[in-house]
Structure 1
Amino acid sequence: MSGQQQINFEKPFIGSIDQGTSSTRFILFDSKGDTVLSHQIPLKQYHPNPGWVEHDGLEIINSVNECISQVLNKYKETNIGEISDIKAIGITNQRETTIVWDKNTGKPYHNAIVWSDTRTSSIVNRFNTKAESLLKKEQQSQSQQQIVPKDYLRDICGLPIANYFSAVKLRWLIENVPEIDQSNALAGTIDSWLVWNLTNKKTHITDVTNASRTMLMNLATLEWDSKLCDFFDVPNSLLPKICSSAEIYGHVESGPLAGVPIASVLGDQQSAMVGQMCFDKGQAKNTYGTGCFLLYNTGDDIVHSKHGLLTTVCYKLGKDSPVHYALEGSIAVAGAGVKWLIENLGFANNSKEIEALANSVQDTGGMYIVPAFSGLFAPHWRDDARGVMVGLTHHTNKAHIARAMLESTCFQTYEVLKSMEKDSNDKLVELRVDGGMTMNDLLLQIQADILGLPVVRPHNLETTCFGAAYAAGLTVGVWSSAMQFHIGKRFTPNPNIDHMKRINDWHKAVSKSVDWVDK
């Protein structure tokens, strides 16, 4: 828990729940957007089989309640204000992670299946075969242009058929958990689970940003689509109501925040866009966390990617507010690669030591790491890929490997950004960044050099959590317009460095990682 002196705080306050892949947090912000108090609890991941990643749904809600209690205890102890000074809370959450629970008992039927889980590969193959069959019929009758099976639904939902998204995870749960009684079951992403619990079983909702990650929502109508639900054989009765990202969904029913409205829900990457104040078409941010997620604001245009990106909802800040869309490039392994070096290989005790180790050499000695531990996400979408190290020599040591792991995040970001420029027919001016890895100055300098663009780290790094707080504050009138974006540090590319050969070598390394898993 952390706090500042009371003299710096400006009432009223907004709370924000950040339920992520590796931890749960609750942060209290003041009306200037400064962090007042926070508490964080690590979240255990379960790996019952190779490629499987799960969370315990009850552990998730317990961690949320504990974080809130810890912050509110400190809030009362320090006499910062009254409960009435906390005007609302917002929620931001790990996306795509899927859970099904009994609406009567409130207990999950099974652990939540996390976004990075790959158990659904056979289901994805089955649906790709189904799509191929349907495409043949449609193309014969309508003389349509050729579409690859995985993109069969992309024009409706903006997404390829892939392990990543919620529909196939929900399908796996329905097919493999016999205890699920569909007449009493509710399903959703983690935001739905949190709101339902916080409102004491009264509210089963999701917002447009989370719904746009399921493969079940129509991007144009912002509703569950009958063609999509039929294709994946997902009963509409299981699904939550789709709402905007900023409205009052209900009130906290118990605990220290009882009576406080829940006034925003945003998927974590979209919340970071809001927190970075990326409200203009053409602005982009990259979040460097467990994975890496680059979003590019396309305004009110639904831009269907031709270069391996996702089309998603960026935000809809109010029931009657316009919806903004985004192109997104999702990278499966970023900070998770550093964690792997620490926990699996014992290279260091923490990420700061990895940075120092990587900084002890000038380059990687010509070696590359492609950390495709669970396949490659954007722009490749290859679930048959696996991690590789290439270019090893007798000269290679731990420092080279540590630096190569950092560079892998930067090269993957380069690939995604180049795809965005092709889809949008525009070039980015700067890249705003956030997430835990952005404390690493070496990483951000390498990123600026490889991109040939300024990389901007904000003054307040809690952009994901603040995005949800800001949206909630808009809902209840704490804020009425965009806040000023404050730069923490700008990293400018070295004009004397030509990275094209290394970029080409990176592409060669990626080619070695694919076709590893037999389908």
Structure 2
Amino acid sequence: MVEAQQAGKNLIIALDEGTSNAKAVAIDARGKVIALSSRPLQVLTPQAGWVEQRGEVLIEATLTVLREVIESVGAERVAALAISNQRETAMGWLRESGEPIGPAITWQCSRSASFCEQLRRDHQEVKIREVTGLPIAPLFSASKMRWLLDTVPDGFHRAAAGEICLGTIDAWLLWNLSGGTYFRCDTSNAARTQLLNLQTGDWDEGMLSLFGIPRQALPEILPSSGWFGATRGVAGVPDGLPILAMIGDSHAALYGHGLGEPGGVKATYGTGSSVMAPIPQPQSSMTQLATTVAWHDGQSVIYGLEGNIPHTGDAVAWMAQITGLTDGKGETLARALTELPASVESTLGVYFVPALTGAGAPWWDGQARGSISGLSRGVDRAHLIRAALEAIAYQIADVIDAMRQHPDFHLASLMVDGGPTRNPWLMQFQADLLGCNVMRSNTPELSALGAGLLARKAMDDLDESQLRQLLPQHDIFTPDPERHQALLVQWQGWKAAVANTLSKSITISQQETR
């Protein structure tokens, strides 16, 4: 915990509720992080392909870190709250009591894959993409919400009667922070549900009918920057603290990097990864990528072209576990993940395709499962760890390659954030593979900072030039041209490994579109 440094009621506390950790970050008027508290979050896998968390635990951890930061900086200095959250994760709860009707079904979960396959067989993909900008995939919230209603007796009718609330994690946090007074979400999170019409910015009646979700069960949609409500009845938290921003964590990171400057493509490396590029208008014809709302800053809407990758950081963690690296913790493990891949010149032809619960962008194959190919007698732990780290870079490069098809897309640099970006070997490999500068934020809490900047904009009515003065600096990794050419050849081997991993139906579909 870092002690507060400046007096006055000017601090914004950003709650960053991710998949692996719940954090509270106090940000001063200069955009500097002056206090931080974090709690790990448990991820449950009750059966193959199912990934969930307990909504009560998410709230408990969030309130714990919020109280700790308030105590550290002093309640009298806190002006407002902001929320950055894991996206697509779906929650359902009883409106009267706030009691969850089931688990928080996380974005990684593929339990609704069969429902999504039925939509595909019913030829609904084009319609869904045209309205929402999103492909059919169990990643998104609507099919998860449908699953929740299906598991509750008379779920649909109770939801239509207003007894059940369905929402993304921002809505769940706001509900609990306000003592059940406000049921709202922001437009960036709404855009990840497959229920938002990109053109109107409202819930789409056709999508609600298709997924079987009553409008009465969904929150009110507001811009990402503005007044969402205020705290009420939370022990250890003053009543009346305004919540002035809510935004999905990947969107918040893009905002925190550069406020959506054209050419600044963002990759957030975490449990999974999001690659997002700002675009001026929604584009729903990109079959390999998602079009989404990046944010609504209270004045205008910025859209995003995005590829979501379910398994990056957690795939490295999985490889570390099965190769015995879990004996190391913290800095020891981080050092091993930098030193081991650098200790060998290559993977000896090994490719690890981490489709542990399916493949995301640009493949969108929920039935795919992970593979390790190219094993030979000389392969040891260093080669396997290197293959896992290379898989992160390859997957991000695959998404950027798909983005090049968009007429408004150009890549000036790749701006990166998240825990795995602390690995300098990985960042240099990513720069060499892409052949462009990789700009690593020197602020680890970038999603929290992005949400905090949106709250600061609403609170102090700041313009873009004033907000730019609060942006963090970047560390630059410059590509080696010769290594770039060599890695382009190696990249083809990765693509072949992916093709062998995808399910037969996806492979046939891709061949038919060529």
The TM-score, its normalising length taken from structure 1, stands at 0.91
The runs of 5 or more residues in structure 1 that have no matched partner are 77-82, 133-148
Q: What residue number does 1:293 align with?
A: 274
Alpha-carbon distance in 1 for matches of 2:176, 2:403: 38
Counterpart contact for 1:365–1:396, Cα < 8 Å: yes
Counterpart contact for 1:347–1:398, Cα < 8 Å: no
Alpha-carbon distance in 1 for matches of 2:56, 2:179: 14
Counterpart contact for 2:231–2:237, Cα < 8 Å: no
Alpha-carbon distance in 2 for matches of 1:517, 1:55: 31
Alpha-carbon distance in 2 for matches of 1:317, 1:451: 31
| Alignment map for 1:322-341 (pairs within 5 Å) | 322-341=300-319
1:504 pairs with 2:487: no
Counterpart contact for 1:10–1:31, Cα < 8 Å: no
Please tell me the residue identity of whatever aligns with 2:308.
Answer: S
Tell me which moved more, 180-189 or 164-173: 180-189
Tell me which moved more, 210-219 or 381-390: 381-390
CA deviations on 1:262-284 (whole Å, 9 max, x unpaired) are 00000011011111123223321
Q: What residue number does 1:122 align with?
A: 114
| Alignment map for 1:71-470 (pairs within 5 Å) | 71-76=69-74, 83-130=75-122, 132=123, 149-178=124-153, 180=155, 181-182=158-159, 183=161, 184-253=163-232, 254=234, 255-299=236-280, 301-318=281-298, 321-348=299-326, 349=328, 350-424=333-407, 426-470=409-453
Deviation at 1:189, TM superposition (A): 0.5
1:491 pairs with 2:489: no
Aligned pairs, number: 491
Counterpart contact for 1:385–1:517, Cα < 8 Å: no
Task: Give the 3 Å change call, closer, same or farther, for CA 425–517 of structure 1 in structure 2.
Answer: closer
Q: What residue number does 2:511 align with?
A: none
Deviation at 1:10, TM superposition (A): 8.0
RMSD of aligned residue pairs (Cα, Å): 1.9
1:31 pairs with 2:29: yes
Deviation at 1:517, TM superposition (A): 9.7
The runs of 5 or more residues in structure 2 that have no matched partner are 507-514
Secondary structure of the residue aligned to 2:80 is strand
Deviation at 1:178, TM superposition (A): 2.3
Tell me which moved more, 460-469 or 484-493: 484-493
Please tell me the residue identity of whatever aligns with 2:109.
Answer: D
Identity %: 33
Counterpart contact for 1:31–1:478, Cα < 8 Å: no
Deviation at 1:248, TM superposition (A): 0.8
Q: What residue number does 1:477 align with?
A: 460
Q: What residue number does 1:145 align with?
A: none
Tell me which moved more, 83-92 or 108-117: 83-92
Counterpart contact for 1:11–1:30, Cα < 8 Å: no
CA deviations on 1:321-355 (whole Å, 9 max, x unpaired) are 11110100111111011111233442342333222
Deviation at 1:307, TM superposition (A): 4.6
Counterpart contact for 1:150–1:162, Cα < 8 Å: no
Task: Give the 3 Å change call, closer, same or farther, for CA 426–271 of structure 1 in structure 2.
Answer: closer
Deviation at 1:226, TM superposition (A): 0.5
Secondary structure of the residue aligned to 1:468 is helix
Counterpart contact for 1:305–1:327, Cα < 8 Å: no
Alpha-carbon distance in 1 for matches of 2:178, 2:443: 30
